């Protein structure tokens, strides 16, 4: 059996400065979508305020370079090994929801939590999200690379179009107004890791309808879906205006 990338070591060679590492206790992650009382995307003050704020992209750029670029890279492209997601061109609403959920303990992210809470307030969340949303999506997404790639991608496409396209879009471009993320341009190994976490109830803030759909997939099917999603980034230029891919070199 082959689950390439299923075990992705989050090996961070980056030194997080001691003052940041000491920043506040990690909130306990609530049971999220595994909890019968869980209400997906329930409103709470910080998220609402950030969504309502008008983001200042240049203030966001400064914060991004100070607190985020060390891991997510100045381009936003993250790491093809799946340890760090690609963020560039993600919908502003999605970025705000994910950041606010991480800060509120609704989505576990112990690696990033100390940095996420460096953002001072809802305005700072709106600023950084506004900036990241303006970045073009790099074309170097990590791909599924194995001799059976063509077969996996074809199978994954069939599954994705049946169960996922209605929310994430057939091109993987998500829906800003509904908080559905862009998936096109994301790394294979990160996608696979998230899908396993979502299926196994480890990603607290996931949409219950998605959890229900993914629950029936085995690891091999999640590999195929991830291989297909990652392949969306290899399409020729101009296949979609949203999301915006960087021009080929």
Binding residues for ligand HEC, per CB under 6 A? 10, 12, 14, 16, 67-68, 70-72, 83-85, 87, 95, 97-99, 109, 111-112, 115-116, 119, 128, 163-164, 166-168, 179-181, 183, 186, 191, 194-195, 205-207, 209-210, 213-214, 225
Q: Which of 159, 182, 186, 158 is nearest to 171 (CA)?
A: 182
Report the nearest approach of ligand HEC to the CB of residue 82 (Å).
8
* CA–CA separation, 199 and 218 (whole Å): 9
Which residue, 71 or 248, is less far from ligand HEC as judged by CB?
A: 71
Cα separation, 182 vs 184, whole angstroms: 6
With respect to ligand HEC, which residue has the nearer C-beta, 104 or 214?
A: 214
Task: Give least dist CB 226 to ligand HEC, A.
Answer: 7
Closest separation in Å from C-beta 159 to ligand HEC: 7
Those residues whose C-beta lies under 8 Å from the C-beta of residue 55, and which sit 6 or more positions away, are 92, 126, 127, 128, 129, 130, 131
The nearer residue to ligand HEC, 39 or 249, going by C-beta atoms, is 39
Nearest Cα neighbor of 183 from 200, 163, 212 is: 163
| Minimum distance from residue 91 beta carbon to ligand HEC (Å) | 10
- Judged by beta carbon, residue 78 or residue 249, the one nearer ligand HEC is 78
Closest approach, Cβ 199 to ligand HEC, in A, equals 9
Are 180 and 92 contacting, i.e. CB atoms less than 8 angstroms apart? no
86-96 exposure pattern, b = at least 16 Cβ within 10 A, e = fewer: bbbbbbbbbbb
Find the shortest distance in angstroms from Cβ 103 to ligand HEC. 10
> CA-CA distance, 175 to 243, in Å (whole number)?
10
Kindly tell me which of 68 and 153 has the beta carbon lying closer to ligand HEC: 68
Closest CA to 106 of 169, 45, 179, 33: 33
Other beta carbons within 10 Å of 241: 8
Residue with tokens 């590492």: 21
Q: 157 vs 168, which CB is nearer to ligand HEC? A: 168
């Amino acid at each position: 059996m082959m689950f390439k990338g299923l075990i992705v070591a989050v090996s961070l060679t980056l030194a997080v400065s001691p003052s940041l590492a000491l920043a506040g206790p990690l909130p306990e992650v609530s049971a999220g979508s595994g909890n019968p009382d869980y209400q997906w995307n329930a409103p709470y003050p910080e998220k609402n305020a950030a969504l309502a704020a008008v983001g200042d992209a240049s203030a966001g750029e400064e914060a991004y370079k100070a607190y985020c670029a060390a891991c997510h890279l100045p381009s936003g492209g993250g790491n093809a090994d799946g340890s760090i997601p690609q963020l560039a061109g993600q919908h502003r609403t999605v970025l705000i929801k994910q950041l606010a959920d991480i800060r509120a303990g609704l989505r576990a992210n112990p690696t990033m939590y100390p940095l996420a809470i460096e953002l001072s307030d809802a305005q700072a969340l709106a600023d950084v999200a506004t900036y990241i949303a303006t970045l073009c999506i790099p074309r170097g997404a990590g791909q599924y690379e194995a001799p059976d790639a063509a077969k996996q991608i074809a199978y994954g496409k069939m599954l994705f179009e049946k169960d996922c396209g209605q929310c994430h879009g057939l091109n993987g471009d998500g829906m800003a107004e509904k908080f559905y993320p862009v998936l096109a341009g994301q790394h294979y190994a990160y996608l696979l890791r998230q899908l396993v976490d979502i299926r196994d109830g480890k990603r607290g803030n996931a949409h219950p309808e998605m959890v229900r759909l993914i629950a029936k997939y085995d690891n091999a099917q999640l590999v195929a879906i991830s291989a297909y999603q990652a392949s969306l980034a290899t399409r020729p230029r101009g296949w979609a205006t949203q999301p915006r891919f960087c021009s080929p070199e």
